[in-house]
A and B are shown apart, each in its own frame.
Chain A
Amino acid sequence: METLLRPFDFEFFRNGLVVATVAGALCGLVGVYVVLRGMSYIGHGLSHAIFGGFAASSLLGVNLALGAGAWGLASALMINAVTRRRAIGADAAIGVITTGSFALGLALFALFGQRGRGFEAALFGSILGVSTTDVVAVAVTTGAVAAFVFLAYRRLLFVTFDPEVAEASGVPTARVDALLMAALAASILATMQVLGVTLVAAELIIPATVARMLTSSFSRMLGLATAIGAFTGFVGMNLSYHLDVQSGPTIVLVGAALFAVAYTAGSLRGLRRARATDEVTAPAEVPTLSLAEPGRP
């Protein structure tokens, strides 16, 4: 028990744990919309796009939250505009925007070297260097996104389920989409510190996917995904400390383990249900019908 509680003596760990738990909850919440709208690719790409902003901000000495945040928001709105217009293949256009931005980040680090937060920490996350300011920033971001989801719950649900009819019913779908993309960008930025750009997408997808396997209710899915995201962040951070592995991989592996458990449980439940149905419906004898002699049973 003493071993488990030892890391709580360190401020960096307490800060990192709060950020991982709160950011995990945030990703779980936003991830429900990402998964149900089939936006997993966009979430993955946006995290890579933000890396470009992270690199530029790091080199210029600009506040990371502001610089990478502005870059991420611009990328998110560009992606949103491209997917809505459908002038060219959305997946191709998103690929250009996001990989181009990621490549820019790599090139900047290669040309000018690392300044401020490290290259590896940006890619895979780190439990070190999380300040009290970062904790407050993540908490404020989570509060703002949670308020948006609560107040726009009905419109978000309608646009997610049936965007065409939502628009025909007077819902400002363009504005709702843009705000959701902004919330997604904010979630990725808040989580980048502990997860890194390469694994943020997993934290968006896994908790929501596990929640979907556990419930057929949208509201319950939101609650479950948020709780699962927080759980993976909390447990993953503890594992990162004790195993001396980067925090991003450990958080995602906890999520992947939960997915495996939920999937196995679901499969076993399905098998049991199928067997029970066979036992109830299988008749003792099946009468045969001779088609060659009409009327004879």
Chain B
Amino acid sequence: MTAVADPLVRLGGLHCSYGGDPVLVDVDLAVADGQFTGVVGPSGSGKTTLLRVLLGTVAPRRGTVERRRGLRLGYVPQVETVNWSFPVTVAQCVLMARTRGRVLPWRSRAEATEVADVLERLDIADLADRHIRDLSGGQQQRVFLARALLGHPELLLLDEPTSGVDVRTRHEVLHLLADLNRQGLAIVLTTHDLNGIAAHLPHLVCLNHRVLGQGAPAEVLTAEVLERTYGARMEILEHAGMPVVVDAYDPGSAVVGLGSGRR
């Protein structure tokens, strides 16, 4: 791992567990200013726990977590964890992030302007008064992103931001995040989508309780690293200069050729 001078967050020798088996083991990771990192790994590999440690909502059993003083963090959870029938509009949902400094329940003129600005920035200004249950998957992501951006974060953490969305929405979300990163925002996201998301990111971390590889996609998305991460053989093809991950072809497998009727 390349040494990072004055990172936003540095994890050193991190061990985490929730009382049973360890979730994270001996994890070293540094997030630099403006870095855009994807964390990939199978279900239960500790990706969400890693985000929570970066956030500070989970304390490690051992190891160190160093955060830059005064670091402002933004967090976008998985949309599946949210109660979308909760009685709030888009603007009210975004304003929830503003809990400090003002006691009165209703929004001030300055707050209304801030919310309008961030919704405009994410191209959802026309949804301000819409109920959150009436949003599409991509719109839901943008609302949560707007809420996270209201606090002007320096580091944005996203948990599976393209989970359950269609291809077009996935492209929109990725482009949006790339724009924010170009404006100087550091981003760490978790994803299952190796080809749709991970292969496009400048920096990847392969995680299965331990960090099994980190670096550029070309260095990390190799058959060897992926087999250690996912416990399954995969092959790496190339398309338009980018790695494409496919399941390894096993002619003896009962699954192969199901669609064509070949046996």
Pick from A155, A161, A212 the residue with the most CB of B within 10 Å.
A161
Q: In the bound complex, what is the Cα–Cα distance between A168 and B74 (angstroms)?
A: 8
0/1 interface trace, chain B 75-107, chain A, CB 8 Å (1 if under): 101000111001111001100111110110100
Minimal beta-carbon separation of A206 from chain B (angstroms): 17
- The interface residues of chain A lying within 8 Å CB-to-CB of B81 are 164
Q: In the bound complex, what is the Cα–Cα distance between A150 and B102 (angstroms)?
A: 12
Residues A217 and B151 in contact in the complex (CB < 8 Å), given A158-B96, A164-B77, A169-B97: no
- The interface residues of chain B lying within 8 Å CB-to-CB of A11 are none
Minimal beta-carbon separation of B182 from chain A (angstroms): 25
- The interface residues of chain B lying within 8 Å CB-to-CB of A168 are 55-57, 73, 75
Total chain B interface residues with beta-carbon distance under 8 A: 27
B87 to A162, Cβ gap below 8 A? no
- The interface residues of chain A lying within 8 Å CB-to-CB of B96 are 154, 157-158, 161-162, 166
Closest to A32 in B: B87
Pick from B19, B81, B92, B105 the residue with the most CB of A within 10 Å.
B105
- The interface residues of chain B lying within 8 Å CB-to-CB of A219 are 105
Q: In the bound complex, what is the Cα–Cα distance between A154 and B100 (angstroms)?
A: 9
B14-63 contacts to A, CB under 8 A, are 19, 55-57
Q: Is B192 an interface residue (CB 8 A)?
A: no
Total chain A interface residues with beta-carbon distance under 8 A: 27
Minimal beta-carbon separation of A146 from chain B (angstroms): 12
Closest to B93 in A: A161
Q: In the bound complex, what is the Cα–Cα distance between A217 and B55 (angstroms)?
A: 31
A36 to B56, Cβ gap below 8 A? no
Q: Is the interface of B mostly helix, strand, loop or mixed?
A: loop
- The interface residues of chain B lying within 8 Å CB-to-CB of A171 are 99
**Set B55, B57, B73, B98: member contacting A154, Cβ < 8 A:** B98
Q: List 6 A-B contacts (CB under 8 A).
A: A36-B87, A151-B103, A153-B105, A162-B77, A164-B77, A169-B99
0/1 interface trace, chain A 152-177, chain B, CB 8 Å (1 if under): 01110110111011111111000000
- The interface residues of chain B lying within 8 Å CB-to-CB of A165 are 75, 77, 147
B19 to A212, Cβ gap below 8 A? no
Minimal beta-carbon separation of A229 from chain B (angstroms): 17
* Chain A to chain B: the 3 pairs with minimum beta-carbon distance, closest first: A153-B105, A168-B75, A158-B96
Binding site for B on A (CB under 8 A): 36, 87, 150-151, 153-155, 157-158, 160-162, 164-171, 212, 215-219, 221
Q: In the bound complex, what is the Cα–Cα distance between A151 and B103 (angstroms)?
A: 6
Q: Is B131 an interface residue (CB 8 A)?
A: yes
B88 to A218, Cβ gap below 8 A? yes
Report the tally of A-B residue pairs with Cβ distances under 8 A. Answer: 64
Closest to B78 in A: A164
Minimal beta-carbon separation of B17 from chain A (angstroms): 14
Q: Is the interface of A mostly helix, strand, loop or mixed?
A: helix
Q: In the bound complex, what is the Cα–Cα distance between A162 and B79 (angstroms)?
A: 11
Q: In the bound complex, what is the Cα–Cα distance between A158 and B88 (angstroms)?
A: 11
Q: In the bound complex, what is the Cα–Cα distance between A160 and B87 (angstroms)?
A: 11
B87 to A216, Cβ gap below 8 A? yes
Q: In the bound complex, what is the Cα–Cα distance between A251 and B220 (angstroms)?
A: 66
Pick from B75, B82, B99, B100 the residue with the most CB of A within 10 Å.
B99
Q: In the bound complex, what is the Cα–Cα distance between A160 and B97 (angstroms)?
A: 13
A218 to B103, Cβ gap below 8 A? no
B131 to A216, Cβ gap below 8 A? yes
Closest to A173 in B: B57
B178-204 contacts to A, CB under 8 A, are none
Q: For the A-B complex with A165-B75, A217-B87 known, give 12 more contacts whose Cβ atoms are closer than 8 Å.
A: A36-B87, A150-B105, A154-B96, A157-B88, A158-B96, A158-B97, A161-B96, A165-B77, A166-B96, A169-B151, A170-B99, A218-B87
- The interface residues of chain A lying within 8 Å CB-to-CB of B131 are 216
Minimal beta-carbon separation of A217 from chain B (angstroms): 6
0/1 interface trace, chain B 142-174, chain A, CB 8 Å (1 if under): 000001000100000000000000000000000
Residues A161 and B105 in contact in the complex (CB < 8 Å), given A169-B97, A171-B99, A216-B131: no
A167 to B57, Cβ gap below 8 A? yes
- The interface residues of chain A lying within 8 Å CB-to-CB of B99 are 154-155, 158, 166, 169-171
Minimal beta-carbon separation of A158 from chain B (angstroms): 5
**Set A161, A166, A215: member contacting B86, Cβ < 8 A:** A161
A161 to B88, Cβ gap below 8 A? yes
